[in-house]
Structure 1
Amino acid sequence: MLGGAPAMWWAGFERVTWTGEGGEPTWFETFPGKAKRGFCPTCGSRVAAVDCDVPEIGINVPALDDASGADLTPVDASFRRNAVHWMPPVPDTQRCPIG
């Protein structure tokens, strides 16, 4: 990666069951009392986010075992210049209603 933040593809869920090696992520409070990020306890990859003003847990979609569902189709893309070459670009984006 050449500077900036890595490209990520997030989906929101009301409930999550953690599976796989290590189980639940290791949580780090990015902004105390406002936001925390979850990292894989085995490899350190970013897998989840919780923000106090959003009622869902955000999951980095490539961390899912199956990301093929129609409800996981991206609608927006941030940090496009840092997108990995092996993920298809988001064709038609719309502005996120949050933020």
Structure 2
Amino acid sequence: MDVETYSGGCLCGAIRFEATGPVLNPHCCSCKWCQRHTGALTATWVEFAREQVRWIGPAGAPATFRSSDYSRRAFCPTCGSSLGAIDDEPTVALLLGSFDSNQHQALAPTAHSFNDQLPRWWCVQ
């Protein structure tokens, strides 16, 4: 069985990653931390075991900011692109917007947390 490899990175290309499947916990989140981290009302995440993610760009691993007692938000120190979160648990959560291709079915969210924090007008009809 082939193992899928996903690649992506920041806006300027200094931070690049490769992550190998399986994809864990594909989900959306609209909590205030995710909103402030991304500047968007909803963040779309997928998680990988830490050993499945390699930082391959010229700048190496992303910069991080301790955002909670269990996680650090990851971003490019050069262009400021949000890339994900590196948890103290052996988990790396990557934002789907940072992937080179986000069309693979395994990346499709299966849950949405904190959707009660969205404005009522969020779903445009």
Bin of the TM-score, shorter chain as denominator length:
0.5 to 0.7
- Larger mean Cα displacement after TM superposition, 55-64 or 22-31: 22-31
The reply on whether 1:16 has 2:33 as its aligned counterpart is no
Instruction: Sort the Cα spacing of 1:23 and 1:65 in 2 relative to 1 into closer, same or farther, 3 A.
Output: farther
**2:112 is paired with a residue of what secondary structure?**
coil
**2:106 is paired with a residue of what secondary structure?**
helix
After TM superposition, list the pairs within 5 Å mapping 1:1-99 onto structure 2.
5=35, 6=40, 7-14=42-49, 15-20=52-57, 22-31=59-68, 34-52=70-88, 54-78=89-113, 81=118
Q: Quote the Cα distance in structure 1 between the aligned partners of 2:78 and 2:60.
A: 9
- Larger mean Cα displacement after TM superposition, 37-46 or 62-71: 37-46
In structure 1, give the amino acid aligned to 2:103.
S
Give per-residue Cα distances to partners, 1:15-48, cap 9 Å, x unaligned.
212345644211111235x211101223212211
Structure 1 residue runs of 5 or longer lacking an equivalent are 90-99
Structure 2 residue runs of 5 or longer lacking an equivalent are 1-31
Q: 1 or 2, which has the higher strand percentage?
A: 2
Structure 2-normalised TM-score? 0.50
Identity %: 30
Instruction: Sort the Cα spacing of 1:68 and 1:21 in 2 relative to 1 into closer, same or farther, 3 A.
Output: farther
Alpha-carbon contact 1:22-1:42 (below 8 Å) kept? no
Structure 1-normalised TM-score? 0.61
